[in-house]
Amino acid sequence: MKFNTQTRNNIVSIICYLYVVLLTYAATSKFLDFENFRIQLGQSPLVSAYASWIPIALPAFEFIIALLLLLPKLRLIGLFAAYTLMAMFTAYIYIILNFSAFVPCSCGGILENMTWNQHLVFNICFIILAGIAILLISGNNQPINRKTIKL
């Protein structure tokens, strides 16, 4: 499917703004309920060894990625970072659901009302959105002109 430049830019902007809202909300929620977030990470079977620095680093990274997504020149870097972060969250949830005897509750705010399976689907949707935005912003959705490729 071909999009004109304005449509592509609008789609990318909408996806970036969705991520900005999600990441800002998630980071703020973690900072506002910091002690609970820290304790829950300490109970996690996968990340308890890193529970001393993850509660500080993770929301900071979420704010930084949100900022990158707001700056047009750094948007592609922000999209790759958001994609990677969501892929890591998704892998964490998948591993917890399938290989852990204990399933901690470490989500805050409105996401706390989701089941782990719903959260997994939610994350996969955001991974797909980031992938779409990356393809649109980098122009990889255009067919390759084999005549211009030089080896």
pLDDT along the chain (151 residues), means of 10: 85 98 94 86 80 90 98 96 97 87 65 83 97 88 47 44
Residue 94 included in any domain:
yes
Quick check: pTM over 0.75?
yes
Residue 100 included in any domain:
yes
Residue 119 included in any domain:
yes
pLDDT at res. 115: 84
Please tell me the total count of domains within the chain: 1
What is the span of the domain harbouring residue 112?
Answer: 5-142
User: From the CA atom positions of the chain, what is the Rg in Å?
Assistant: 18
Residue 21 included in any domain:
yes
> How buried is 28 (Cβ within 10 angstroms: 0-12 exposed, 13-18 middle, 19+ buried)?
middle
Give 101's Cβ-side CA count (13 Å radius): 0
Note the pLDDT tens digit of each residue in 49-92: 888 898 899 999 999 999 999 999 999 999 999 999 999 999 98
Max Cα distance, the chain (Å): 59
